[in-house]
Structures are given as C-alpha cells and as structure tokens.
A and B are shown apart, each in its own frame.
Chain A
Amino acid sequence: MKKILFATLLIINNVFSQEEIPILNHYVNDFTATLSVEQRLHLERKLKKYDDTTSNQIVILMISKLEGSDLFDYSIRVAEKNKIGRKGKDNGILILIVKDYRKVRIEVGYGLEEIIPDAVASSIIRNIMIPYFKAGNFFEGLDKGISTIQDAIAGLYQAEKKDDFEVTPTLLITLFLLAIILTSLFRRMRRGVLGGWTYYGGSWHPIPRKGSWGGFGSFGGFGGFSGGGFRGGGGSFGGGGASGSW
C-alpha cells in the first residue's frame, strides 16, 4: 500500500516538476531585475499603446534560468497559457529571455507567421537584439527589436472598432428597450410580486410598504480595466518563431 502511494506521489511529482508557467499581468515581465523602472515603464507604455492601436500584443518575459525545461517548450507553454494575441487573429508575440543561459526566443503567433517567418525572427534576434545583449544592454536590444517587429507587422491588423465607444442606432434602440424593461421591472418589484395589492374587507387595497428597498447598490464603476496591465486576448500559437543565444 505504501509502495503504491509512493509510486503515485512520484508520478505526480514527475508531472508537476516541470517549470511552473507564470501568469503574466504586464507587457514587460522582468523577473531578473535587469531593467530599471524607467526602462520598464518605457517599454510597457510602448507595448500598451501598440496593443491599443493595432491589437497586436507583444509581451516580454525575462527570467534567470529554466528548471529543466527546454527553451522552446517553455516559451510555447507561456504563450499558450497567457493567450497572447487576439482570438481569431492570433497576433501575439512573446519575447523570452533566459538571462543566465544567454538565450532568447521570439515566439510568433499563428496569425503573424506569414509576416514574421522564422528566418525573419531569427535575423531580428541575431542582427538586432544580440549585439546589444552581448554588451549587456538589454533595454536597447529589446527596444530596437520591438521596433523592428512593429515595422514588419505595420498595417497588417488594426484595433477593432468595437474598442472605441461608438453610438450606433442599434445601440440606442437596445438601450431604450433595456430602459423600458428595467423601469417596468423596477416598478413591479416595488409593488411586490402580486402587484402589491391584497384583498381584505371586501375590496382590494395596496399593501403598505414595509421598510425601504435600499436601491440597487452600486455596480462599482466601469473603469476596472483601465489599469494598464496586460490581458491575453485568446490568441494561439503553433511553434513559429526563432531562438538564439549570445
């Protein structure tokens, strides 16, 4: 019995001893404390703005080392788990740096494989990023690399119109109908389920209201998403991209 338990534990341990895949909440995730705060913010703003205007999502992950996983295996799992890029467009890119191993990988989403084929990703790594990385200048390497990627993709995708708040006739009609339904519901609720009337003394009388309804409470505002952090949009990856080392 003990043996079986031990074997089970061993199997479970084997399955989970693989690298833990981080959930990324920013465009720039530096777990190596290499970038200064200003550098990180600069890149974060650049990528956030890029996402807002083009819907392409580029995310940076910097870690010190890998616990046993293969570079490619790890990078595709991070990209898949965080769903970088938009659903349907699959326009996400992950730039992974494993600093202590001096390795970098650009993982390219399905939707960008045509425009950034492996050879181009490889060339960006070798000719643009690595010369800076060799000199220890990670910020410059990333910044230039990202600009090159952005130039390559330029014009392929635009941000969805939906993102801007547009007043269309359909929207107005929907809002109008919604308002009518809500008001009638609200009235009914105030009167009680049976219409708020009761029969006594030979005739119908309205039920006197006991206490107040306390309103609907607040919805907490709608500004919850404006924090500026990264949220994956459901993009998927097929293993496109390239790796390099310096």
Chain B
Amino acid sequence: MKNKSLLIGCSVGAVLLIFVLIIASWAISSYNSLVSLDQEVNQTWSQVENQYQRRFDLIPNLVETVKGVAEFERETYTAVTEARAKVGQIQITSEMLEDPKAFERFQAAQDNLSSALSRLLVAVENYPQLKANENFLQLQAQLEGTENRISVERRRFNESVQKFNTAIKRFPTNVIAGTFGFGEKQYFKAVTGSETAPKVEF
C-alpha cells in the first residue's frame, strides 16, 4: 500500500519533471533563435550602413567634377551638398531600429539625398563634356553601383526584420520575446517608385 502511493508520487514527480524540462528546453531554444534573428538584423543593418557611408564618401568628388564643368547647375549641386550634410548629422546605431521616429528621420534624410543626387545626374545629361569625361563616367558608375548596393542591402535588411518581427509576434514565441524585451523593429518603407520589390505589410 505504502509502496504503491510512493510509486504514484514518484511517477507524478517524474512526469512533472519531464514537463518542466520540455518547457525549459523550448524556452531556451526559442530564446536562442530570437537572439540569432536579432543578430541577423544587426548584421544586415551594418551592411546598409556601409553602403550609405560609401555613397556619403563618394559625393564630394562627384560634386567637384560637376562643378568644374557645369557651373550652371549650382542649385542642383548645392542641394546635393546640403542633403549630404543633413545625412551626416544623423547618428545611426542599431538601437535606433526600435525607434520609429528616429528611423523615419534617417530614412527621410537618406531618401532626400537620393532624390537630390538623381536630379543632379539628370541635369548632367545636358553636358556632353561631362559625358565624355572618363573621370566623371567612372564616378557616375561608382555612384550607380552604390545606389544598387543600397537597394540590395535594404531589401536584405527588410527581409531579416520581417523574419524577426514575425517571430516575436507569433504565439508562443511572443511570450519569450515579451519576457526578454525583444521589441518590434523598423524597416524601410518603399518610397513611391524607388523600389520595385513588392513589400509585404504586417
């Protein structure tokens, strides 16, 4: 009789223990997967930053070259210089990714610079001297390449944020995310006509 109740007690205990172990191992593995998703977002973000920095560094040379030939386009190239200065004032860190306002400011400044640059490149089409200038052509190619890289890295960043945001919202992982303070991250919204890839809203 005594033996029997001991047996029942032990088996209930064992079942509970197994249950707790299962929960704990699930919690650990989902926490770990959130951590790696978070790291992926940070990594893709640093690629985005690199490419924006690259563009930032290219601009002075480009403006100098254009200045030399197309003096008329003063308005266009000062717009580029000003937009660049604004971009330079915005500090970017990966914590910013959870702050919608800061992210919006960052994107607005960068998009503003993109449009100033594209206006400059359109204006420059009227100057045959520039189109025959190997130095300018190379700068233009570099700038185009950087814009392309930016769009690639932005897409990859958006994809990784999408994965992360879906993970932290989905039950039951959202419990873990809430407990350990994983917040939703911002991503790049398509500016009309600037991105061809269809965006999934969530």
Pick the residue among B142, B152, B198 that contacts A76 (CB under 8 A): B152
A15 is an interface residue with CB less than 8 A from chain B:
yes
For A243, the chain B residues whose CB sits under 8 A away are 144
Closest to B135 in A: A119
CB pair A238 B137 closer than 8 Å: no
For B145, the chain A residues whose CB sits under 8 A away are 117-118, 121, 239-242
The proximity string for B residues 136-149 relative to A, scoring 1 for CB distances below 8 Å and 0 otherwise, is 01111110111011
For B134, the chain A residues whose CB sits under 8 A away are 123
For B47, the chain A residues whose CB sits under 8 A away are 238
Pick the residue among B144, B150, B197 that contacts A118 (CB under 8 A): B144
CB pair A118 B141 closer than 8 Å: yes
For B150, the chain A residues whose CB sits under 8 A away are 239
Determine the distance from Cα of A238 to Cα of B146 in the docked complex, in whole angstroms.
10
Pick the residue among A14, A15, A119, A237 that contacts B141 (CB under 8 A): A119
For A117, the chain B residues whose CB sits under 8 A away are 142, 145
A239 and B196 in contact (CB under 8 A), knowing A118-B144, A118-B145, A119-B142?
no
The proximity string for A residues 220-246 relative to B, scoring 1 for CB distances below 8 Å and 0 otherwise, is 000000000000000001111111000
CB pair A126 B137 closer than 8 Å: yes
Interface residues of B in 147-190 (CB under 8 A from A): 148-153
For A72, the chain B residues whose CB sits under 8 A away are 148, 151
Number of A-B contacts (CB under 8 A): 56
Closest to A118 in B: B145
The proximity string for B residues 36-72 relative to A, scoring 1 for CB distances below 8 Å and 0 otherwise, is 0000000000010000000000000000000000000
Closest to A68 in B: B196
A73 is an interface residue with CB less than 8 A from chain B:
yes
The proximity string for A residues 103-128 relative to B, scoring 1 for CB distances below 8 Å and 0 otherwise, is 00000000000000111011100100
For A69, the chain B residues whose CB sits under 8 A away are 196
CB pair B142 A118 closer than 8 Å: yes
A166 is an interface residue with CB less than 8 A from chain B:
no
CB pair A121 B196 closer than 8 Å: no
For A239, the chain B residues whose CB sits under 8 A away are 145, 148-153
Q: Which residues of A contact B (CB under 8 A)?
A: 14-15, 18, 69-70, 72-73, 76, 117-119, 121-123, 126, 237-243
Give 18 A-B contacts (CB < 8 Å), ordered by A residue.
A18-B196, A18-B198, A70-B196, A73-B197, A118-B141, A119-B141, A121-B141, A121-B145, A122-B137, A123-B141, A237-B152, A238-B152, A238-B153, A239-B148, A239-B150, A239-B152, A241-B145, A242-B145
| 12 new A-B contacts at CB < 8 Å, known A123-B134, A238-B152 | A72-B148, A72-B151, A73-B196, A119-B142, A121-B145, A123-B141, A238-B149, A238-B153, A239-B152, A240-B149, A241-B145, A242-B144
